[in-house]
Amino acid sequence: MPNNMQSILSLLVLPIMVRFSGFLTYAQSLTHSSMSNRYGAISSTSGLYAINTHESVTMPTGFDYGCPNMNAQYLFTLPADSGEDFVAAEHLPLVVYFYPKDSTPGCTTEAQGFRDSIDAFKAAGYTVVGISRDSVKSHQNFVCKQELNFPLLSDKEETVCKQFDVIKEKNMYGKKVMGIERSTFVIDANGELLKEWRKVKVAGHVDEVLAFVQQPA
């Protein structure tokens, strides 16, 4: 009796397995065809697809993708201490300096340096702007207290800070934290990066930036 049952089961199951195998082959051919139409040539090895796309990929501007020879545009929009949005594309050429925090000793000294040299930067054709993660309200207090004569921009979400790759690991009071590495960038009239300073030391820095932008074109 058991042998008879096995024979009956085999007769019932075998057609189902054959049909299912045929369905898998058909589905695989459809998937292969669909992917080929969309992505180009496809090769299959051990069930894994390798896609060779012939479509060109356009990367958005305004970001550094780690390619040292890439002429990326460094354009952005952020809220300013004035309460209005600062659109970088409308103020080129531009000196952008990133600093850790309003009203701290080093940041105050740096801001005062740009304040005192602002007329020389304007004469060279450049707009100066400072960026930190502080709020607009904090910037307003800082501007008022130090009588700053250039915009301070708030990047609370670190969007532009990451665009310029200035968020770095820092050691503060024995603890490792992520913060802004003091940096300055000169952007030309086409929105391209001309010069950058990283790990900036405040003393003499403003004079160095000014000397660079005053150079004959």
- Kindly report which listed range (63-67, 126-130, 136-140, 208-212) carries the lowest average pLDDT score: 63-67
Give, in order, the Cα–Cα distances in Å from 210 to each of 23, 58, 72, 93: 72, 35, 23, 13
Answer whether residue 27 shows pLDDT above 50: no
Question: Per the confidence metrics, is the pTM higher than 0.85?
Answer: no
List 185's β-bridge partners, or say none: 96, 196
pLDDT level of residue 196 (50, 70, 90 thresholds): very high
Tell me, what's the pLDDT at 175? 85
| pLDDT of 4 | 55
Cα–Cα dist 67/114, whole Å:
31
Specify the CATH class of 77-213 in words: alpha beta
Average pLDDT in the 46-59 region? 35
Question: What average pLDDT does the segment 13-31 reach?
Answer: 49
Q: Where are the domains positioned within the chain?
A: 2-52, 77-213
Average pLDDT value for residue range 17-21: 51
- For 81-137, the pLDDT digits (tens) are 999 999 999 999 999 999 999 999 999 999 999 999 999 999 999 999 999 999 999
Please give the structure tokens belonging to residue 57.
């990929």
Q: What percent of the chain has pLDDT over 90?
A: 61
Question: Which of the residues are catalytic?
Answer: 107
* Token pair in block for residue 90: 């409308």
Report the pLDDT value the prediction gives residue 159, as an integer from 0 to 100.
Answer: 96
Banded model confidence at residue 38, pLDDT cuts 50, 70, 90: very low
Q: How far is CA 184 from the centre of its chain?
A: 16
